[in-house]
């Protein structure tokens, strides 16, 4: 393991390219513009608000994360992206209905500049949407080449020194990896033959990695979870991470479940139900897109609670997740959780959580942090899966054979220790015996 990192400075401008200029992307972009103009604060963003303790508690060293590691400054960020709809970011943000119109109007000139490039799209992968701003190509390799050209043009025209890509597009249908995904060679052959198993999100990811650009997967799509793209990331020394931003109900799960387990309280059931009315909710009405989301949402309780180690406590857990599209709610989702737990001698108790949340308000700061941390990872010479960014995901990517860490508090410790490690600072173990030595 490397111990000395030569982290390149964050000189020049950073481009953030986003497939999918919808609710999450526009809330993120408008938010960055608002912060730059001092119209709001970047609440929820660890890179902007967070601190990191260094050394012993008695040393009282606690710099801000953005002062400890060299991150791109918000004023040095440029945005671009693709969508199947032609709406510029101002129109798309108004339609998404997350941010107030009065705020959006103050940001209108900047937002109107962001016009989505034609998308790589295949109806079969997102059944509920149809758009006209779509690329045409003879083969999927042609489409990948067009995206690569878009990236190069964006970088040159905006005079950028670095670019990262974050998928904020719709949830694609559930796909199992097949032979075409097993090696880079098979995948590239598949692109040339327009193999039906290659999803649009994979084409963007392939283009990004081929151009040496880090890629984060904000949706539950299979995209990067295939050997082919992981091989390409390693070959071109590009960092990648995913998948599915951990907001709302899953965030609550990864906060609450470690607490029950820490106290050795048992659990017999966890039923999660959601109503939401945004476009994401509409796409998730399609059972095949919902399946991607369901798999991504269901995984974490088993990993946190470890029923194989605690059969008496979690051996009979019934975990169920439902999402209902309900237009009147727009982006303001309501998530109900009914948690059946049991304590001393098996006596049952119930906990009800009713989270009236704002999905994109929770997601936007994660998109920012991921872009800035991926850029830091690239400048530090890290490549392949960035497990330290698990903190942000519902289904964190890990090396083959490892199980993912879902406990939010372990994830945060891992993230901060990675930053300490990159800077050659002592890792914090929380042992603390030295404070009591004679
Ligand atoms: N909001 C959250 O809290 C949250 C949390 C986790 C994951 N996500 C995921 O993030 C994604 C975006 O969510 P949203 O609420 O912004 O949805 P949205 O529907 O508002 O935006 C998605 C956009 O992607 C576009 N799109 C679809 N396929 C595309 C393609 N192939 N290329 C380019 N654009 C494409 C759509 O036209 C749409 O404008 C979804 O996959 C969602 O599941 C959101």
Q: What is the pLDDT of residue 337?
A: 96
Q: What is the pLDDT of residue 348?
A: 98
- CA of residue 62 to ligand 1 center, whole Å: 36
* pLDDT single digits (tens) 158-212: 999 999 999 999 999 989 999 999 999 999 999 999 999 999 999 999 999 999 9
Q: Which of 278, 258, 269 is closest to 323 using CA atoms?
A: 278
Specify the ligand 1 atom closest to the Cα of 96.
Answer: 20
The share of the chain scoring above pLDDT 90, in percent, equals 82
- CA of residue 170 to ligand 1 center, whole Å: 3
Specify the ligand 1 atom closest to the Cα of 126.
Answer: 28
pLDDT average, residue stretch 33-51: 98
Q: Which residues contact 142 (CB under 8 A, 6 or more apart)?
A: none
Cα separations in angstroms, 278 against 47, 202, 282, 285, 325: 28, 24, 6, 11, 8
CB atoms within 10 A of CB 122: 16
If you take atom 39 of ligand 1, which residue's CA is the nearest one?
22
Residue 362 in this model has a pLDDT that exceeds 80: yes
Q: How confident is the model at residue 14 (pLDDT cuts 50, 70, 90)?
A: very high
Secondary structure of 129-177 as H, E, C letters: CCCCCECCCCCHHHHHHHHHHHHHHHHHHCCCCEEEEEECCCCCCCCCC
* pLDDT single digits (tens) 59-114: 899 999 999 999 999 999 999 999 999 999 999 999 999 999 999 999 999 999 99
Q: How confident is the model at residue 431 (pLDDT cuts 50, 70, 90)?
A: confident
* pLDDT single digits (tens) 364-410: 999 999 999 999 999 999 999 999 999 999 999 999 899 999 999 99
pLDDT average, residue stretch 324-337: 89
Q: What is the pLDDT of residue 128?
A: 86
Residue 438 in this model has a pLDDT that exceeds 70: no
Average pLDDT, the chain: 94
Specify the ligand 1 atom closest to the Cα of 245.
Answer: 6
- CA of residue 211 to ligand 1 center, whole Å: 23
* pLDDT single digits (tens) 411-423: 999 999 999 999 9
Q: What is the pLDDT of residue 109?
A: 97
pLDDT average, residue stretch 317-342: 91
Residue 1 in this model has a pLDDT that exceeds 80: no
């Amino acid at each position: 393991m490397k111990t000395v990192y030569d982290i390149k400075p964050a000189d020049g401008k950073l481009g953030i390219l986003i497939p999918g200029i919808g609710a999450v992307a526009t809330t993120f972009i408008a938010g960055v513009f608002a912060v730059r103009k001092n119209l709001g604060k970047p609440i929820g963003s660890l890179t902007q608000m967070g601190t990191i303790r260094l050394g012993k508690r008695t040393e009282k060293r606690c710099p801000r994360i953005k002062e400890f590691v060299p991150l791109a400054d918000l004023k040095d960020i440029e945005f671009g992206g693709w969508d199947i709809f032609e709406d510029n970011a101002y129109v798309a943000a108004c339609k998404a209905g997350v941010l107030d119109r009065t705020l959006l109007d103050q940001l209108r000139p900047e937002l109107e500049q962001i016009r989505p490039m034609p998308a790589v799209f295949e109806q079969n992968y997102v059944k509920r949407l149809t758009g006209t701003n779509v690329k045409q190509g003879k083969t999927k390799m042609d489409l990948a080449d067009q995206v690569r050209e878009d990236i190069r043009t964006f970088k040159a025209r905006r005079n950028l020194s670095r670019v990262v890509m974050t998928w904020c597009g719709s949830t694609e249908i559930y796909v199992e990896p097949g032979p075409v995904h097993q090696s880079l060679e098979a995948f590239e052959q598949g692109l040339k033959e327009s193999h039906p198993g290659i999803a649009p999100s994979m084409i963007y990811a392939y283009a990004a990695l081929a151009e040496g650009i880090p890629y984060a997967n904000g949706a539950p799509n299979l995209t990067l979870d295939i050997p082919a793209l992981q091989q390409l990331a390693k070959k071109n020394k590009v960092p990648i991470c995913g998948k599915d931003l951990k907001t709302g109900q899953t965030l609550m799960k990864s906060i609450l479940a470690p607490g029950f387990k820490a106290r050795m309280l048992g659990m017999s059931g966890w039923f999660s139900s959601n109503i939401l009315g945004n476009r994401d909710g509409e796409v998730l009405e399609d059972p095949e897109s919902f399946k991607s989301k369901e798999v991504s949402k269901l995984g974490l309780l088993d990993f946190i609670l470890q029923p194989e180690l605690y059969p008496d406590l979690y051996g009979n857990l019934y975990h169920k997740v439902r999402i209902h599209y309900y237009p009147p709610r727009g982006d303001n989702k309501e998530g109900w959780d009914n948690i059946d737990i049991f304590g001393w001698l098996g006596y049952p108790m119930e906990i009800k959580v009713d989270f009236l949340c704002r999905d994109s308000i929770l997601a936007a700061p994660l998109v920012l942090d991921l872009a800035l941390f991926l850029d830091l990872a690239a400048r530090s010479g890290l490549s392949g899966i960035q497990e330290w960014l698990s903190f942000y995901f519902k289904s964190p990517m890990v090396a083959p054979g490892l199980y993912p860490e879902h406990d939010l508090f372990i994830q945060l410790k891992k993230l901060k220790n990675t930053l300490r490690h990159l800077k050659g600072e002592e890792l914090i173990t929380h042992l603390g015996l030295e404070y009591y030595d004679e």
